Amino acid sequence: MRFLSAAEIPLPRLYICMAAMFLSAAIIWTCAYSVFKIHWLMAALAYTKALSLVFHSINYHFINTEGHPIEGWAVMYYITHLLKGALLFITLALIGTGFAFVKYILSDKEKKIFMIVIPLQVLANVAYIIIEETEEGASEYTLWREVLFLVDLLCCGAILFPVLKLFRHYYVMIVCYIYFTRIIAILLKMTVPFQWQWCQEFLIEVSTLVFFVLTGFKFRPASNNPYLQLPQDEEDVEMDEVVTESGALEGISKVKKTSNGRERQREPAL
């Protein structure tokens, strides 16, 4: 006996297939392109996404065969889903600010962005879990669905603010990703026949995979990668104070850094 609706029957196979694709992309990225710490964070995001999809597929499989989810698998899915959401927005914000690519210190403004985004992501995931565990006709279902939609949009908007002008093309990529996964996907679900509503999840997962691949391609470690170099007229020279262990003032020196973070010249402080 099958317990899933016609719109949900393809979901277990869809999720496991997409999990295999994300896992393959993560393995290729880890073996070939993990250089900076941000690259390892991007790999962790891809692995977590793949794991989340595996647990999601297993969860739907048991719902389809037994009529209810197995609590252990459901909990594992919610944990990996929460981690994936947090890693996604943290990674996007770090890449947008140029962290580890063109600088190694976050400004106070950028730190405040993270202080806003991370709690919002926790709230969004709590709302998602409540929606998943609540019947669609229940009164709180509509409330938490609206909370999830609003908080998710706030998170998306927050990560757009710190994006460097140098990464304006990446800014467009983020906007397109948000547009496809938040707006187009909802419109698709509203317009297609009921048995084809699984196409909404297909669009979201494929858009996410394409976005991950394009992000990896644009920020892969390469000597001629223009995204890893700041132009001469924008934030070309950055001054840092380096304090040695010999004392608060003793040994202080000014370090001129180029945009890629390498030391260009060292001058003794006055």
* pLDDT one-digit tens code per residue, 161-186: 777 766 778 888 988 998 899 889 98
Residue 159 has pLDDT above 80, yes or no: no
pLDDT on residue 249? 42
Q: Residues near 96 by Cβ (< 8 Å), separated by ≥ 6?
A: 159, 160, 162, 163, 164, 167, 170, 171, 174
* pLDDT one-digit tens code per residue, 43-75: 999 999 999 999 999 999 999 998 888 899 999
- Decide which of 81 and 103 is more confident: 81
CA quadruple 131, 133, 137, 140: dihedral positive or negative?
Answer: negative
Q: What is the pTM of this model?
A: 0.77
Residue 155 near residue 124 (C-beta atoms within 8 A) = yes
d(CA 103, CA 90): 16
Residue 89 has pLDDT above 70, yes or no: yes
Give phi and psi for 10, each to the nearest 5. -75, -10
% pLDDT > 90, the chain: 35
